[in-house]
Chain A
Amino acid sequence: MLTDEELNTIEEKLGRTPSEAELATLDTLWSEHCSYKSSKRWFYLFNTESERVRLGIGEGAGLIDIGDDYVIGMGLESHNHPSAVDPFNGAATGVGGIIRDIISQGCKPIAILDCLRFGPPTTPRQRLLLDQVVLGISSYGNCVGIPNQGGDTEFAQEFTTNPLVNAMCVGVAHQEDIIRSIASVPGHKLLLFGSSSGRDGIGGVTFASEELDDAQQENRGSVQIGDPLTEKVLIDAIIELRDRKLLSGLQDLGGGGLVCAAVEMAEKGGLGVNLDLEQVPLREQNMKAWEILVSESQERMLAVVDPTNLSDVKRVLDKFDLNYAVVGEITEGNTFEGYHHDELQTELPVDFTINGFPEPKREVGEPLINSVSLVPRDGHPLEVLLSSFNLSSRQPIYQQYDQHVQGNTVIGAERDSGVILLPNEKYLVTAAGTNSYLVGVAPESGAALATLSIIRKVIVRGALPIGMVDSLNAGNPEKPSSYGEFVSMIRGVATVSHELDLPVVGGNVSLYNESEQNGKIYKILPSPFVGICGLIDTGEPIPDLLRDDTETTIYILGQRSGILKGSEYGRYYGSDDELKIDYDLERECMNFIIENNDQITSATPIGHGGLLGTLAKWAIQSEVGIELESEENKAVLYGENTPRYLLQLTTSQVDYLQQENTSISLHKIAVIRDDATFVADRSWSLEELDKIWSEPLRTAMQT
């Protein structure tokens, strides 16, 4: 809702009382979701440049050069509030929205990843949320035909009332096929195509910019309904329009609907825009001008078309049986004029409509997070960790996603990172996620370390990280402590972008993930999701699974020990150490792995669960027995968040690597066994460990 200050600004600027349609327009475009009014002021912190960046923050997707005249497009967005109210449709349309952001730039979507947060799946409500969100993503993504490449899922009490559903999409295009979301020539027509417009999703962005409360059920009308078949046909049609160079500009209708797409594209071109709302194909009767402007019905695109191409464009859309209508025109000047029944409904300066809001004052307070520790059940710490919801097998989730459609998948969703063969015969490696508990423990350094942990998943395949997108999920920015958390985590992510020369090319901010129920405040753990794309320029991906070969040995590359604070172990058993970041060693390990990608038998980064947790998961998934060589202290066994990787090496590989790289340290840590057992301070059969690891989510999801 517009604030009093914003209303005064509008009346002063216009010199009159705004119309209903104008109020709806400004309410939408000045919402937190569209305007980034609380967050934009911090974006300067990010490193946004590299030799490869072709398009940075500001449009649907960031574009990055991958050589051979190809670019990849990447984007990451939240769909939290809709998923809390209607988990199936909210999650499905979240996937749909980010896919359209990618095709808006002319990229063919080639990978989906998603980052999910729920309360522990021990209650019927949380199990339903988990089940329906996964089903929503699965039914939409599978139907559109884009392989799922992973992401992450975590569970914590703090997400019980505010689950998080963030989706990432990556696409690929030939350099010359890139489409921009800009209208730069007066006289060009605006062509709306795809689904018709209804009342679904009206006020969606305003809804996303407020706290959820006890009355959230009433907001069901703010959730959109998805239609993946239309989305698939949209992609096919846009690829053909793109290949025939028929479009001058393109933007999807996401948050803020038609008015947002039309006015944003005009503003980027420094021009005005006219809309004739009567031309918009509607699926409901008697819709008012303001409703047509801000409807968030799904699967709609707005194209900027040179009038000489119009008949060709229509012919393509006819071939695909898609609805379309010319709904407006780009004009000289700076005015957004909206007509309905020949009456002028809006007359607003374009730049004012996008940027005219008074920047709200926000107070950066001390973060106030009470990260909940957990009580371990009896048993060996390895068993406790493997059976915790955060570490247990994600198979019941990923098995519901098509990971191989399009035929380019090298590694699917269930390992460290996904790997896809690109059209230029190079490999794309992707990973997405964060570590919400760690960020809760220390918002700034935690955000940096969590980001590094995702980057390591890409590096470990031998890929150079080339682009990052982020989605910053936090509480109510009007509360100083919540805003302080937000600012801390943006600083953490931004520092990594500079230290690793990794440009941030897009992102999203989701605030107000805080709610009040029965007078009690529920606030999420701040969650700065990052999506990382890496490129393997020469050679093959380093294998992700162990080779069954007793002649090989497992080494730790990098720091021998980890940190217990903020680790999964620390969450159960406590810790007395401090977080530390060693960027020099991070870079050194990165360069070592990338340069020697043909000299490593297989590798995995030490992540959740520390050395022992990672080794055990590696053994289970590879079906190869492992024996730890020596007794180690807790920080070595269970610590996380230092630059350390596990490498499986043959004797000749070890000799080669140690000769070539005298500065880097390799610590021998484990050997391959010739039977299916896992041996540390006690021994388990792999079958036994697999059961412990697989059971929790299988039970929660009843699969």
Chain B
Amino acid sequence: MQIAVIRFPGTNNEYETLRALQSFDEVDAELLEYKEINRVDEFDGFWLAGGFSFADVLRAGAIASQTEMITEIAATGQPVLGVCNGFQILTEASLLPGALMPNDSTRFICKWIYLKVSDHPAFQEVRGKVLKLPIAHFEGKLYTDELPDVYDFVRYSDKQGNIRPEVNPNGSDDNIAGAITKNHQFMGLMPHPERASFKHQGSTDGRLIIESFLTEVKQ
């Protein structure tokens, strides 16, 4: 299957994302520059990689969310995974609800965290598991009145999978670290599965999340 990793000026997780995707046999992944909207039809799925699109001026992801590329990929109906800045772009584009606000500490946070996976149908293989992934963001606190058409599928937890306020790194509502729309098209995630995909990185739990995304792409 053909997956596009989309690069805006300031995207900086593009190469590790490509490497992680390419390590799956069935995947053919390549970089798609944000201006190359005429190529959108070539792909079966899209990954909005992390970084600082357009230097995050205004708000994180705000400028990128208004580009034609986002409108075009949304129109394809194919699955879109937004990681970190990609998640911020999806909330700014109102494709996922809520807003990602600055962390409670008002500082960038880089650390390893644990995630508890929910029983959402998109994650049958990893349902209920506890995963170890790194986070690295300034704006990761999801704020929302309610989650009408979406499902939170991973939450910050302790090593044992208990979802406690003490292990919430950024003040996110209900410890939410990732969300997915009901129709499974848009999936947003603050932690970085592409940085937990190989043995040398210290965890390969991210592969399980990527596999779930690929299952969606196949369907």
Binding site for B on A (CB under 8 A): 135, 138-139, 142-145, 227-229, 232-233, 320-321, 398-410, 412, 421, 703
Contacts and interface: CB of A to CB of B under 8 A. Distances in A.
A404 B201 contact: yes
Contacts of A401: 108, 110
Contact of B201 (A135, A145, A321, A409): A409
B55 A143 contact: yes
Contacts of A409: 195, 201
B109 interface: yes
Interface in B47-61: 50-52, 54-56
Given A407-B19, A409-B201, A400 B12 contact: no
Contacts of B108: 138-139, 142, 399-402
Given A143-B12, A409-B201, A229 B52 contact: yes
B79 to A, nearest CB: 22
Interface in B155-208: 192, 194-195, 197-198, 200-202
A399 B9 contact: no
B125 interface: no
B20 interface: yes
Contacts, number: 86
Interface string B13-26: 10110011000000
Contact of A703 (B19, B105, B200): B105
A138 B200 CA distance: 24
Interface in B22-79: 50-52, 54-56
Interface in B101-150: 105, 107-111, 134, 136
Given A138-B108, A404-B201, A407-B19, A145 B136 contact: no
19 contacts: A135-B107, A145-B12, A145-B13, A232-B10, A233-B9, A233-B10, A321-B9, A399-B107, A399-B108, A402-B136, A404-B195, A405-B16, A406-B16, A407-B16, A407-B19, A407-B20, A408-B16, A410-B200, A703-B107
B200 A398 contact: no
A321 B7 CA distance: 14
Contacts of B201: 404, 407, 409-410
A404 B16 CA distance: 10
Nearest to A413: B110
A409 B20 CA distance: 14
Contacts of A228: 52, 55
Interface of B: 9-10, 12-13, 15-16, 19-20, 50-52, 54-56, 105, 107-111, 134, 136, 192, 194-195, 197-198, 200-202
A551 B176 CA distance: 40
Nearest to B111: A399
Contacts of B51: 143, 145, 232
A590 B192 CA distance: 36
Given A229-B10, A406-B16, A407-B195, A400 B52 contact: no
Contacts of B136: 142, 402-405
Nearest to A321: B9
Given A400-B108, A401-B110, 4 more contacts: A138-B107, A142-B108, A403-B136, A405-B50
Nearest to B196: A404
Contacts of B55: 143, 227-229
Contact of A404 (B54, B56, B192): B192
Contacts of A143: 10, 12, 51-52, 55-56
Most buried by A among B50, B107, B194: B107
A142 B138 CA distance: 10
**Which 7 interchain pairs have the tightest Cβ spacing?**
A407-B16, A145-B12, A229-B55, A402-B136, A143-B52, A404-B195, A400-B108
Contacts of B56: 143
Give the interface centre of B10, B12, B51, B55 by most chain A CB atoms within 10 Å.
B12
A412 B200 CA distance: 12
A174 to B, nearest CB: 16
Contact of A232 (B12, B194, B198): B12
A145 B110 CA distance: 13
Contacts of B192: 404
